[in-house]
Amino acid sequence: MYAGKTIFAQLMDFLPSHEFRRCVERYRGQHKIKSFSCWDQFLCLAFAQLTYRESLRDIEACLRSVQRKLYHVGIRGQVSRNTLANANAVRDWRIYADFTQALIAIARPLYAHDDLGVQLAQATYALDSTTIDLCLALFPWARFRRRKGAVKLHTLLDLRGNIPTVIIVTSGAVHDVNILDDLVCEAGAFYIMDRGYLDFARLNQIQRSLAFFVTRTKTNTRFHRLYSAAVDKNAGLLFDQTIELDGQYARKDYPGKLRRVGFFDANTKHRLVFLTNNFDLPASTIADLYRLRWQVELFFKWIKQHLRIKAFFGTSENAVKTQIWTAIAVYVLVAIVKKRLDLPGSLYTILQILSISLFEKTPILQALASADYTIQDHQLCNQLDLFD
C-alpha cells in the first residue's frame, strides 16, 4: 500500500511555490498576519474549487473532518469560516491574479504545438467576455443595470490548448470594446473577435502593432470596393474583396485597406461577412479562423459548469476577484498536470476523479491514469471537453 503524500499534496507540488511567495511579498500579503497565511487561504479555495464546495461553512466542515491530514497538505493555520471570510475580504486579489499568470506562463509552452485545426504557424487568440449575474443588494459595487448587478470576465484565449492568457474582471457596465485598450498585441498573431469589438480606431491600433484581426462586419458599415479576387463557390465562399471605408470619421480612424470575405454556412443557413487586415491567407482560412472563435464560448460554458464562479463566498469586490482568479488558477493547474503526466482523459474526467480522491494516499498518476475511460459523444451527453 502506498503510504506517501495525499493526492491533494501531490497536486499542489505542481505549483511553483517560489512564485507564490514572490506574489505575496509584492503586495505585502503577510503583513501583520500570524496564522492562516495566504498559502493556507489559496489551498482552502483550491480545495473548494476542486470539490465544488457551496459555502464557507461547507469548506470548514469538510476540511475539519480531515484535520490530521491538513498539515501534510500544506495548510498550517486553523481553518475557520470567519478567518477565511476575512482573508478573502482584505488580502489583495492581485496576489492570486499574478500567481495565475505565472501558471499560465508554464502552461502555454506545454500546449504550444497542439493542433489548431487550421494550417497556421502564428499564435491565434480569441477575445470575448461572459457576464456573471450578481444580486445588486449584496454586490452594490457591481452595478450593471438599474436593478441588476453583474461582473464581466473578459478573456483572451490562446486557441492552442484553450489556455486563457489575459483575464480582466470588470463590472457588467463596461463595454467589451474598451478591453482592446488594455491589450498589448503580439506582432504576427491573429486576434479573433465578434462584431461587438468592431471599432475602427482600435482595430487600427492592432494593425499598427503588426498583428492581424478577424472580426465580423456590421450591416451599416459604409465602404467602397477596390477590387475582388476569385473564390471557390463550392466551399461556401461568396466573395473576397479589398475595400476602403467611407465616411469622414471611419476613414480617419482606419485609413488603410481592409479585406472583406463573405461566407455562407450551410449548417446554420447564415450568411457571414468577415473583416480582416490579412491579405495573404486564403479566404477559406479566414472563415475557418473565425469558426475557431467558438472555443472561447465553450471555455466560458465549461468553467461555469465545473468551477465555482457563479456563487461566491464573499460579497466584497476583493472576495469576488480572489475567487475568480483562484478558479482560473485551478483550471490552469489541472491543464498542466494533464499535459505533464500525459493523461488520456478529458479535463472534466480528471476533475471528477480529483473531487472524490483528494485525501487518498495513492500516486496521482495511478489514480488519474488507471481509470477505465469511456469516450462519450458531446451531442448525446451535452458535455463540453476542452482537452480531448
For residue 385, what pLDDT is reported?
Answer: 53
**Residue 375: its pLDDT value, please?**
44
Counting as low any pLDDT under 70, the low residues of the chain are 1-3, 370-388
Q: Per the confidence metrics, is the pTM higher than 0.85?
A: yes
**Phi/psi of residue 126, each to 5°?**
-115, 130
Which residues contact residue 112 at a Cβ distance below 8 angstroms, ignoring those fewer than 6 apart? 160, 161
Residue 119 pLDDT:
83
User: How confident is the model over 206-264, as pLDDT tens digits?
Assistant: 999 999 999 999 989 999 999 999 998 888 999 999 999 998 899 999 999 999 999 99
| Structure letter (DSSP) for residue 122 | S
* Collapsed DSSP state (helix, strand, coil) of residue 48: helix
pLDDT digits (tens, 9 = 90+) for 316-337: 999 999 999 999 999 999 999 9
CB burial string 335-359: b at 16+ within 10 A, e below: bbbbbeeebebbbbbbbebbeebbb
Query: Would you state the pLDDT for residue 118?
Result: 86
